[in-house]
Amino acid sequence: MREVLRADAMRALVRRARRRGESIGFVPTMGALHEGHLSLVRRARREHDRVVVSLFVNPLQFGPREDYRTYPRDAVRDARLCRAVGCDWLFRPSATALYPLDFETSVRPGDLAARWEGAERPGHFSGVCTVVLKLLHIVEPDVLYLGQKDAQQAAVVAAMMRDFNMATRLSVAPIVRDRDGLALSSRNVYLNDEERVRAAGLPRALLAASRLARRGVRDARRLEAEARGVLRREAKPQRIDYLKVVDPRTLAPVRRLEGRGLLLASVRIGRTRLLDNRYLIPKRGAR
């Protein structure tokens, strides 16, 4: 595996590979890698001749009171993990390389980015789209890999790729969970032991709603109430930012499951914000 610091060097490497007829899979990350990221890299490895992973904590997607400065960083460990799962090129640009002093253009995503995370974190998805667009222009991959844990991010990026006629295809991989069901996230390290135990109440709450849907309940309010009950009892969150049944395509709230729904949640356990989601697949026949 080779570490690449400069955008022009990164682009030259992938263009040379392309001239040799090789395909490129790309996994963008902010580092602090866990099994969720590694599962994306393994998938890219299986599906492509060349695998690029980027490691860049993107200042544009953090709000002024968020954890940009304290976000977990360990480039040596990340590089070791990337090498172990077969990454060819680890792209590790500096902030000034991607955002020089005269940088002034950004992407403004549409309605998909306005709700949920977009409402909680104004400007977040503009920062995500801007960096992903830059990275896609540098790496020019055949396939971009993102995780379903950040379901809204995947939907917003998919819309940008469609709207900007990008040739890259998006592949969204399933959530990777710990043994107790907690979705893996770089921010889980912020949880203390007691909070970590409570955090497992979040996936259990989503699971409870999904079981109810499978038993035939289609009313979104009942499904949300079921999840909220388990969440309050088991996770005792400091705050529920949102917990909503939405249309998986538009992310707009639904009143009733017609087809598949998506239960989106963000809660605060201690000072840590956790995100999770689960598809709700209703049984045929209504209640």
Chain contacts with ligand PAF (rule: CB under 6 A): 28-30, 58, 61, 128, 131-132, 150, 153
- Of 157 and 235, which has the nearer Cβ to ligand PAF? 157
Distance CA 231, CA 209 (A): 11
Cα 287 to Cα 129, 158, 216, 263, distances in angstroms? 40, 34, 6, 18
Q: How far is the CB of 45 from ligand PAF (least distance, A)?
A: 18
Burial of 279 (0-12, 13-18, 19+ CB in 10 A): middle
CB of 107 to ligand PAF, least distance (A): 12
Catalytic residue at 124?
no
Taking the complex as a whole, how short is the minimal distance between the CB of residue 147 and ligand PAF, in angstroms?
7
If the CB atoms of residues 82 and 132 are measured against ligand PAF, the closer one turns out to be 132
3-state DSSP of 234-284: HHCCCEEEEEEEECCCCCCECCECCCCEEEEEEEEECCEEEEEEEEECCCC
28 or 201: whose CB is closer to ligand PAF? Answer: 28
Distance of CA 15 to CAs 21, 41, 42, 136, Å? 10, 20, 22, 13
In the complex, the smallest distance separating the C-beta of residue 36 from ligand PAF, rounded to whole angstroms, is 10
User: For residues 157 and 231, which CB has a smaller minimum distance to ligand PAF in the complex?
Assistant: 157
Catalytic residue among 37, 48, 124, 137: 37
**Four-residue CA torsion sign, 19, 22, 26, 32:** negative
Smallest distance from ligand PAF to CB 133, Å: 10
User: Which CB atom, from 128 or from 243, has the smaller least distance to ligand PAF?
Assistant: 128
Task: Kindly tell me which of 29 and 188 has the beta carbon lying closer to ligand PAF.
Answer: 29
> What minimum distance in Å lies between the beta carbon of 190 and ligand PAF?
16
Catalytic positions are 37
